């Protein structure tokens, strides 16, 4: 396969306008309407389409330029191009895929892969989010969730046919799986083909549809699913339950992704695997030191405030934080941050004691202009 630029007959630096012009000219020249039956020209037409699909899309073009031409417009292969991407990314792609199906429909790879594909239904992934309590995120738990899933119809076993009913040729498309449709496009009148909506492209339908799934092969159910939430899970992380998404028909079942949202705690602040709490102490405790009880996620703990503790001092309780995900016996720390409360109001007696303290430490306290102290 030659280089995409030479297929379109343009220079490598050609503008998008030149690419478009050249494409139109060539698409016209090799249009199957004019080259009826000429296989070589059919191939050429396909090549031109594919080259245009890449070069008309700045992103694809850039990718192509970067990776060179060894992959050729065969795409699908080493270049990471998937023709299906084009249909999604490329403006007006619908028209082109229709062209492909119209002229090369039954025989082209695209047409074939489509009809085989439609017989199988891939199981879709399901994504949900689950709010859990702060402590549940620390210790883990088994959560039960109600989930709407699409499962294979147990009544027809996924065939879509009522028990005992035969599978017959679809009358709507006469077994072709596609319906031809004439439409006007910029290249003139085109025959486009659409997937037959009666048989979904299979060309075959059950004589009588399964009454449970109405021939859809699957139906939705409400199921209760147990999700094991591991200890130490962080907010925002997802748990994947393989095969618990929607069930596929002749294809893999989808997965279920449960995104965990951890509710904030009123008492604890988590940072990584450490837990922080604030602890308010009095000036007296800060000066004299004390032994107090604080709450950790693992229960009450006695800690010692050393004499002369400053505001903001951190006391670290090793291993009393959050279990490290997937590492048994390893836990973060609990960190107590001391907050010294300065009393706003003191009694007369307290004032006296403070003044005595001031005298003791050689401080001469002045009443100030407002005289509030006295």
**CB neighbours (10 Å) of residue 9?**
15
Biggest CA-to-CA distance, the chain: 113
196/262 with CB nearer Zn ion: 196
What are the distances in angstroms from CA 213 to CA 156, 249, 252?
8, 13, 20
Choose among 137, 133, 333, 134: nearest CA to 237. Answer: 137
Q: Give the residue with the Cβ less far from Zn ion, 19 or 199.
A: 199
Minimum CB separation from Zn ion for residue 120, in Å? Answer: 16
Piece in contact with Zn ion (CB under 5 A), picked from 49-57, 132-140, 212-220, 358-366: 212-220
Q: Please list every residue from 184 through 203 that binds Zn ion, using CB under 5 A.
A: 196, 198-199
Output the 3-class SS for 219-246.
Answer: EEEEEEEEEEECCCCCCCCEEEECCCCC
Among 28, 35, 118, 155, binds Zn ion (CB under 5 A): 155
Min dist CB 158 to Zn ion, Å, is 7
* Range 50-69, binding Zn ion (CB under 5 A): none
* Shortest Cβ 117–Zn ion spacing (Å): 15
Nearer of residues 129 and 171 to Zn ion, judged by Cβ: 171
CA–CA separation, 100 and 42 (whole Å): 10
Shortest Å distance, C-beta 162 to Zn ion: 8
> Of 89, 93, 68, 88, nearest to 78 (Cα)?
68
217/334 with CB nearer Zn ion:
217
Can you tell me which of 75, 138, 156, 320 binds Zn ion, judged by CB under 5 A?
156
Q: Show the DSSP H helices in the chain as ranges.
A: 4-8, 16-29, 39-55, 58-67, 83-89, 93-104, 109-119, 134-139, 283-288, 348-360
Q: Would you tell me the crossing angle of helices 16-29 and 39-55 to the nearest 10 degrees? A: 160
- Judged by CB under 5 A, the stretch of 42-50, 169-177, 252-260, 295-303 that binds Zn ion is 169-177
How big is the site for Zn ion, counted in residues (CB under 5 A)? Answer: 12
Give the nearer residue to Zn ion in terms of CB position, either 213 or 249: 213
- Residues of this chain that interact with Zn ion (CB under 5 A) are 153, 155-156, 170, 172-173, 196, 198-199, 210, 212-213
């Amino acid at each position: 396969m030659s280089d995409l630029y030479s297929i379109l007959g343009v220079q490598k630096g050609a503008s998008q306008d030149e690419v478009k012009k050249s494409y139109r000219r060539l698409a016209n020249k090799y249009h199957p309407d004019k080259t009826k039956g000429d296989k070589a020209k059919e191939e050429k037409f396909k090549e031109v389409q594919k080259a245009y699909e890449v070069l008309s899309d700045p992103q694809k073009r850039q990718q192509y330029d970067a990776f060179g031409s060894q992959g050729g417009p065969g795409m699908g292969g080493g270049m990471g191009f998937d023709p299906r991407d084009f249909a999604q990314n490329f403006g007006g792609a619908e028209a082109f895929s229709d062209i492909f199906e119209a002229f090369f429909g039954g025989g082209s790879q695209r047409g074939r892969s489509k009809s085989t594909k439609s017989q199988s239904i891939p199981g879709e992934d399901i994504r949900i989010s689950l709010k859990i309590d702060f402590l549940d995120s620390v210790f883990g738990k088994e959560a039960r969730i109600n989930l709407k899933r699409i499962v294979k119809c147990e009544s027809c076993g996924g065939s879509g046919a009522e028990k005992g009913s035969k599978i017959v040729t679809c009358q709507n498309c006469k077994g072709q799986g596609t319906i031809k449709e004439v439409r006007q496009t910029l290249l003139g009148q085109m025959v486009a083909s659409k997937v037959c909506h009666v048989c979904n492209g299979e060309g075959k339908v059950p004589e009588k549809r399964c009454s449970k799934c109405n021939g859809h092969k699957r139906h939705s159910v409400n199921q209760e699913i147990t999700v094991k939430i591991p200890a130490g899970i962080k907010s925002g992380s997802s748990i994947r339950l393989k095969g618990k998404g929607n069930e596929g028909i002749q294809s893999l079942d989808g997965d279920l992704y449960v995104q965990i949202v951890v509710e904030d705690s009123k008492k604890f602040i988590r940072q990584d695997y450490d837990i922080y709490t604030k602890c308010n102490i009095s000036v007296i405790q800060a000066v004299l030191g004390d032994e107090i009880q604080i709450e950790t996620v693992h229960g009450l703990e006695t800690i010692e405030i050393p004499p002369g503790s400053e505001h903001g001092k951190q006391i670290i309780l090793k291993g009393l934080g959050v279990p490290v995900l997937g590492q048994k016996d390893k836990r973060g720390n609990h960190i107590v941050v001391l907050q010294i409360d300065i009393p706003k109001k003191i009694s007369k007696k307290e004032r006296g004691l403070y003044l005595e303290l001031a005298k003791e430490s050689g401080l001469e306290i002045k009443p100030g202009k407002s005289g509030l102290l006295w």
